[in-house]
Amino acid sequence: MTETRVPIPTLERLAIYLRVLLDAHEAGIQTLSSQEVEQHSGINAAQFRKDLSYFGEFGKPGVGYSVAGLIQCIERILRLDAEQPILLVGAGNIGAALVGYPNFQAHRLRIAAVFDNNFVKIGRPFGDLVIEDIARIREINATIGARLGIIAVPASAAQEVADLLVEAGVTGILNFAPTILRVPPYVHVRNVSFLQELAVLSYQAVEESLCMNGQASRGGEDAV
């Protein structure tokens, strides 16, 4: 195991393995081989082993992986071994879905505060929380110390919110708004776009590549 940078696809799969392991643990299974993980995750056994090899050696040849042990290791890798507070900005439909999402708890992810800029909403209850004024985000996160933030506001406000989150000390942003966010290089952004996912499916669901060759201008006005 040499000291290389961990590929992002590996990190993404780590979360999948964790889910499989938690399910297995729930079911009382004590040990799992990479082969069995493949069965449950759909991810190639060699891939699983190589993914883990970026972080150390966790299995026993001839036996497999201790479910409980590997859960702990992956949780530690992903910093999910201690409760991870999250700032949510945007008390709309998506925000409501997130605070009501039951699966966060199992991963020790906790939405610690909700913010909005709509003064009608501020002060109202939202799940277990009360909606706070976005203007107070920095002040409030001085107490919470969250490093993760979620942007669930319209695209037009997303950049402004991103700036505020960064200023409040957040270094990882989950962005639901359909915009490219500009952030300092040490801040990580992941975008979730329902539209993008559906667009890809829309293409794939009709596999006829009727691949229209042609020049640029059609329908609309010509270029220049």
Name the site residues for DNA (rule: CB under 7 A): 1-2, 7-10, 33-35, 43-47, 49-50, 52-53, 57-65, 216, 224
Centroid of chain to Cα 179: 17
Give residue 43's identity as a one-letter amino acid code: I
Q: Contact between 41 and a second copy (CB under 8 A)? A: yes
- Given DNA, a second copy, none, residue 2, with its beta carbon under 5 to 8 Å by kind, binds DNA
Contact stretch for a second copy (CB under 8 A) within 51-59, 115-123, 133-141, 156-164:
51-59
Q: Contact between 118 and a second copy (CB under 8 A)? A: no
Answer for the pair 188, 173: CB distance below 8 angstroms, yes or no: yes
In the chain, count H helices and then E strands: 8, 10
Please report, as residue ranges, which positions from 178 to 197 form the binding site for a second copy (by CB under 8 A): 178, 180, 188, 190, 192-197
Among 24, 71, 134, 168, binds a second copy (CB under 8 A): 71
How far, in Å, CA of 128 to CA of 86, rounded?
A: 14
48-67 burial, b at 16+ Cβ within 10 Å, e below that, comes to: bbebbebeeeebeeeebbbb
Q: Contact between 60 and a second copy (CB under 8 A)? A: yes
Answer for the pair 120, 127: CB distance below 8 angstroms, yes or no: no
Q: Where are the beta strands (DSSP E) in 91-222?
A: 109-116, 125-126, 129-133, 148-151, 172-175, 188-191
Q: What is the nearest approach in angstroms of DNA to the Cβ of residue 1?
A: 4
Q: Contact between 59 and a second copy (CB under 8 A)? A: yes
Inter-CA distances, 172 with 28, 73, 93, 182, 183, Å: 34, 22, 22, 13, 10
- Given DNA, a second copy, none, residue 184, with its beta carbon under 5 to 8 Å by kind, binds none
Nearer to a second copy, 125 or 220 (CB): 220
Nearer to DNA, 53 or 191 (CB): 53
User: Which tokens hold the place of 202?
Assistant: 């829309």
Nearer to a second copy, 11 or 46 (CB): 11
Q: Contact between 7 and a second copy (CB under 8 A)? A: no
Please report, as residue ranges, which positions from 139 to 168 form the binding site for a second copy (by CB under 8 A): 147-148, 154-155
Q: Contact between 28 and a second copy (CB under 8 A)? A: no
